[in-house]
Amino acid sequence: MEEEAYGAALQYFTGSKDHNIKLRSLAIDKGWKLNEYGLFKKDLTEVVARGTEEDIYKALGLKIMPPELREDRGEIEASLKGNLPELIELKNIKGDLHVHTVASDGNATMEEFAWACKKRGYEYLGITDHSYGLRVTDGLSAERLRGNIDIAHNVAKRVDGLKILIGAEVEILEDGSLDYPGDVLRELDFVVGAVHSKFNMESDAMTKRILTAISNDYLTILAHPTGRRLEQREPYFIDLEKVMLAAKAAGVCLELNAFPERMDLNDVNCRMAKEIGVKIAIDTDSHNVPQLDNMFFGVATARRGWLEKGDVLNTLSLKELVSFLST
Ligand SMILES: [Zn+2]
Ligand SMILES: [Zn+2]
């Protein structure tokens, strides 16, 4: 019984060790003691707060904060100043801008994805089949890419209330050029660029390669910017800060790829992106319909990186997105 009553207070230990140490030192500054049973006057004779986690934060002069923030990365200082971020939520996501259909290496048709996105309440779906250069994925020739545009027109007639945007996941070649010419890229609603080859370049060369891609007028989103695959491949060498600064200047977004094996950008990268002011697109890189659910993991990582709704491209309404894409 006694244990149960203290249960809520125990939750503040969901913070990292360093977060909890800071909470304790705030308590000490006030002449109190914070332990796993609650917040007490120093000699433990009187309870200051222990009903709920919120009571304890409040007594310490802090606003309750989501567990994702409790890592001693400035959240306590931000709370004291009243500057805590309002973290993005899954319900803020209005669409997915990285999806592969049967036209390249996906396992579902555009129409199947469209219905699934409509069911999720999305306003738009961005189709990004692979470009020609990635032969192993049956990458699309310019002619087949135009075929995708025709399919989109047909699907749009059947799936009303969902806008299908036709893009492509275009190879960033070794010299930083994209493997469709400008006149093809111009026909697309948006362009996702990605590195899928020559991962072992030196940092300077890889950074230059990506910066060249970012300077391409047609690039909208840099996909999986560090190339890591958990348990399979380390991130490639890249000066991410330089990349982010260039992306911000060029109005290019960086992707937080929600595919569980990728999850790049990671939380620390997201925080850097936020500080630099470059916009993030959280996309699933789905190759089948159930993978659309991976958006949850992307949003979870974004939250650990302090991202708010306004930091994320695909929280924009369709109207706002179309206006962003036209600039
Ligand atoms: Zn990719
Ligand atoms: Zn992809």
Which one-letter amino acid corresponds to residue 41? K
| pLDDT tens by residue, 228-251 | 899 888 998 999 999 999 999 999
**Is the pTM of the predicted complex or chain greater than 0.95?**
no
Q: What is the pLDDT of residue 98?
A: 98
Q: How far is CA 126 from CA 64, 103, 175, in A?
A: 37, 14, 27
Which string of DSSP letters, residue by residue, matches 201-264? Answer: --HHHHHHHHHHHHTSTT--EE-STT--BTTTBPPPP--HHHHHHHHHHHT-EEEEE--TTT--
User: What's the average model confidence in pLDDT over 159-168?
Assistant: 96
In the reported structure, the alpha carbon of residue 225 is separated from the centroid of ligand 2 by a whole-number distance in angstroms of 12
How far apart (Å, rounded) are the C-alpha atoms in residues 315 and 142?
30
In the reported structure, the alpha carbon of residue 298 is separated from the centroid of ligand 2 by a whole-number distance in angstroms of 15
pLDDT class of 13 with cuts at 50, 70, 90: low
pLDDT class of 4 with cuts at 50, 70, 90: very low
Which CATH fold topology does 90-325 show? Answer: TIM Barrel (3.20.20)
- Rounded (10°) CA dihedral 49, 50, 51, 53: 100
| pLDDT tens by residue, 37-60 | 889 998 888 999 987 889 999 999
> Which one of the ligands is nearest to 168 CA?
2
Lowest average pLDDT, out of 51-60, 92-101, 207-216, goes to: 51-60
How far apart (Å, rounded) are the C-alpha atoms in residues 117 and 226?
27
| pLDDT tens by residue, 128-147 | 999 988 777 788 998 999 99
In the reported structure, the alpha carbon of residue 227 is separated from the centroid of ligand 2 by a whole-number distance in angstroms of 11
In the reported structure, the alpha carbon of residue 283 is separated from the centroid of ligand 2 by a whole-number distance in angstroms of 9
**In the chain, ranges of CATH 3.20.20.140 domains:** 90-325
Which CATH fold topology does 2-80 show? Answer: Beta Polymerase; domain 3 (3.30.210)
**In the chain, ranges of CATH 3.30.210.10 domains:** 2-80
What rounded mean pLDDT belongs to the chain? 92
